[in-house]
Structure 1
Amino acid sequence: MTNQVTLIATAAMGLEGLVKSEVKDLGYTDIQTENGKIIYKADYLGIARSNMWLRTADRVKVLIGEFNAYSFDELFEQTKAMPFEDWLPEDAFIHVVGKSHKSTLYSVPDCQSIVKKAIVSRLQDQYNIYTRLDESGARYKIEVAILKDKVTLSIDTTGSGLHKRGYRVEQGEAPLKETLAASLVKLTNWTPEKPFVDPFTGSGTIAIEAALIGQNIAPGFNREFSAEEWAFLPQSIWNQALEEAEDLANYDQPLDITGSDISHQAIEMAQNNAMEAGLVDLIKWKQMNVKDFKPKTDVGYLLGNPPYGERLNDRPEVEQLYKALGGIMKDYPKWSVYIMTAHENFENFYGTKASKKRKLFNGFIKTDYYQFFGKK
């Protein structure tokens, strides 16, 4: 087996461009973009580096193979024809998950069961095993994804999704995923020498992700990945990826990042999370009502995920909040303001038309990301 692999970095809808540019930044050039995923060629080290560095992707998978299947027999035979022994040892714990969309084979439990049988049969043949497989070794999560009768088989290298950075020890009721928070920061043109404020900081995720980006700290630096247990990936690969992350981090980069929130409890949570991330001295935390916010510099960046007012009786209060923020920021025309909200009349209350707006999903909630560019 060669050291070359095809990787799939999955992305939330609308964020494929960000993930693609992160893959490019890692030095990979043979890249294809599809809905919800970026496909690219890499080597074994690329598995570790992608997990270590991709801030905006959801997870990284190894592509095993693709084919069309219109019957369970075809699914079984073509799965069995794949060289699973290149990836799975004879004691592999095989966990198959699946999804099917607009396909003849629409029963996901049946597809999962057939794929598992085919892999087991392949490994029994290859390893000359005449009894049941032991399955006491490392876990391999295999996905069978069927779209319009095209079957894609892949193995998940990540384990817990990439948003699980390992620093969030506490969170509020509706926490923003770390990957989405990083995406919001990357969609601005903020640079680390400029002030950065999140006035609705909650458990601190946006400010923490901004600090990680500002000092070029790899988001996967503080966690483990399922592929670390795989026999064919030597520990030296993970050590190399960690060393690279350590070398590229710019711990001396000064930052001016503030996270504020009306809730004392939220600020305490944010501080605990920042401490876990090793960033406690880098971010200023402040209990404050957004109505009392006053920028201290002429130029800066404000990025927030305010309450959306989803419950009708919360709406008037939330709308007053938007109004107050718009009133404050109109006196600071050189500040760039970025707000993600599901409130469809946000601009009316804020008092200004956004320079740019893009659709994003916060979990299952459809939101708009309003971008107000500061005057040059």
Structure 2
Amino acid sequence: MNQQVTLIATAAMGLESIVAREVKDLGYDDVSVENGKVIFNADVSAIPRCNLWLRTADRIKVLVGEFEATSFDELFEKTKALPWESYIEEDGEFPVIGKSVKSKLYSVSDCQAIVKKSVAERLKQKHGVASWLKETGAFYRIEVALLKDKATLTIDASGTGLHKRGYRIGQGEAPLKETLAAALIKLTNWTPDRPFADPFCGSGTIPIEAAMIGQNIAPGFNREFSSENWQWIGNKTWERALEEAEDLANYDQPLDITGSDIDHRMINVAKDNAMEAGLGDLVDWKQMQVRDIYPRKEHGYLVGNPPYGERLGDKAEVEQMYKDLGRAMEDHPSWSVYILTSNENFEKLYGKKASKKRKLFNGFIKTDYYQYFGRQ
């Protein structure tokens, strides 16, 4: 099917440029970047391909229409004028969610109800249904998002958020989202022929994402998406995308990836998650303290999301951990070190000023990504 669509890849704040680069790497050049989203035009095959391949995006949405709306009548009529029948079949299930920011139509529940009624009217008219729509078929979650009186209407093509890869069967107290973990790796220039280590691995997210990147395994390969059942995309389009992902995976690529943590229980959780991800023994898991780090090879990459010390009583212990890391890596100047933390004194504790810093959000926590480039 050669139908053209406008897609929105949503992104966490600070990751938009990385998502845009991923979209372009998939061959889609008509790309624009806004706060929290990357917008691009492509044919329908981009829906399965982007769901399968985008490592750092939160979800994929199909843009149905945008317009100004300052009254409920205007919202109803302009929604009804959009070609919903091109996307949703007669028995399609279409719940409506919404949000409103700085708009005259501030009642989200009313906006949702109006969009629901408007779409139903359009579908009944176009599909020739006299009474009511069954909604027993494929799932199409519609979102009406109002920002400064501009309504954006989309259909969610992912279902569960893209950070849900399907391999996390266990996690620690403050798990790092898989999409952010992938972004931390993408922000380095690590290549699969170089050693890689995470000394604060917790449930193993960063090393697992590194292994998937290293072997070019599509992050969405082992999960399901709501758009798999959409008739206008078709099974063959999905099958081609899955075949492409299988063909491009390089399972023979040797990797030197180590995940370590002070807590032996988390090491067991990380091992289970790696097995669930289909990585077997690709990652070397170790129970180890930070001060005992001693890389055997040169020119490696250390990427970590250590505890931030935000809870009372943890601060001194965490600060000592940062000092231990700095001392341990002093003897390995060829290694590049990348640390995500909200602790504003990290550089002082680590004992060295970062080559570069980047502001990122870990959930709702404002953090800095401290980057120390190794001597080449």
The residue type paired with residue 119 of structure 1 is V
Q: In terms of mean alpha carbon deviation, does 1-10 or 297-306 score higher?
A: 1-10
Q: Contact 2:2 / 2:44 at 8 angstroms: preserved in 1? A: no
The residue type paired with residue 233 of structure 1 is I
| Total equivalences in the alignment | 376
Distance, in Å, in 2 between the alignment partners of 1:154 and 1:94 is 11
Deviation at 1:72, TM superposition (A): 0.5
Distance, in Å, in 2 between the alignment partners of 1:137 and 1:234 is 14
Matches within 5 A, 1:262-277: 262-277=262-277
Structure 1 counterpart of 2:321: 321
- For residues 203-241 of structure 1, the C-alpha deviation after alignment (integer angstroms, 9 at most, x for no partner) is 000000000000111001111100011121211111100
Q: In terms of mean alpha carbon deviation, does 49-58 or 1-10 score higher?
A: 1-10
Distance, in Å, in 2 between the alignment partners of 1:135 and 1:277 is 34
Distance, in Å, in 1 between the alignment partners of 2:171 and 2:284 is 18
Structure 2 counterpart of 1:289: 289
The residue type paired with residue 176 of structure 1 is L
The residue type paired with residue 329 of structure 2 is M
The residue type paired with residue 326 of structure 1 is G
Structure 2 counterpart of 1:218: 218
Distance, in Å, in 2 between the alignment partners of 1:168 and 1:90 is 36
Deviation at 1:290, TM superposition (A): 1.0
Distance, in Å, in 2 between the alignment partners of 1:20 and 1:216 is 18
Structure 2 counterpart of 1:148: 148
Deviation at 1:130, TM superposition (A): 2.0
Structure 1 counterpart of 2:310: 310
- For residues 104-126 of structure 1, the C-alpha deviation after alignment (integer angstroms, 9 at most, x for no partner) is 11111111111001001111111
The residue type paired with residue 226 of structure 1 is S
Structure 1 counterpart of 2:3: 3
Q: In terms of mean alpha carbon deviation, does 289-298 or 254-263 score higher?
A: 289-298
Q: In terms of mean alpha carbon deviation, does 75-84 or 121-130 score higher?
A: 121-130
- Is 1:43 equivalent to 2:34 in the alignment? no
Matches within 5 A, 1:54-73: 54-73=54-73
Matches within 5 A, 1:99-248: 99-248=99-248
Deviation at 1:298, TM superposition (A): 2.4
Deviation at 1:40, TM superposition (A): 0.6
RMSD after superposition: 0.9
Distance, in Å, in 1 between the alignment partners of 2:94 and 2:311 is 44
Distance, in Å, in 2 between the alignment partners of 1:53 and 1:174 is 25
Distance, in Å, in 2 between the alignment partners of 1:141 and 1:232 is 15
> What's the secondary structure of 2:319's corresponding residue?
helix
Specify every segment of 5 or more residues in structure 1 that has no aligned partner in the other structure, as ranges.
none
Deviation at 1:364, TM superposition (A): 0.8
Deviation at 1:2, TM superposition (A): 5.9
Distance, in Å, in 2 between the alignment partners of 1:225 and 1:111 is 26
- For residues 33-68 of structure 1, the C-alpha deviation after alignment (integer angstroms, 9 at most, x for no partner) is 111111111111110000010000000011001100
Distance, in Å, in 2 between the alignment partners of 1:223 and 1:146 is 31
> What's the secondary structure of 1:94's corresponding residue?
coil
Deviation at 1:270, TM superposition (A): 0.3
Structure 2 counterpart of 1:255: 255
The residue type paired with residue 111 of structure 1 is C
Distance, in Å, in 2 between the alignment partners of 1:351 and 1:226 is 48
> What's the secondary structure of 1:343's corresponding residue?
coil
* Aligned sequence identity (%): 68
- For residues 3-39 of structure 1, the C-alpha deviation after alignment (integer angstroms, 9 at most, x for no partner) is 1111100010010010000000100111111111111
Q: TM-score, normalised by structure 2?
A: 0.99
Distance, in Å, in 2 between the alignment partners of 1:246 and 1:134 is 37
- Is 1:96 equivalent to 2:96 in the alignment? yes
Structure 1 counterpart of 2:14: 14
Distance, in Å, in 1 between the alignment partners of 2:31 and 2:299 is 37
The residue type paired with residue 304 of structure 2 is G
Q: Contact 2:204 / 2:270 at 8 angstroms: preserved in 1? A: yes
Q: TM-score, normalised by structure 1?
A: 0.99
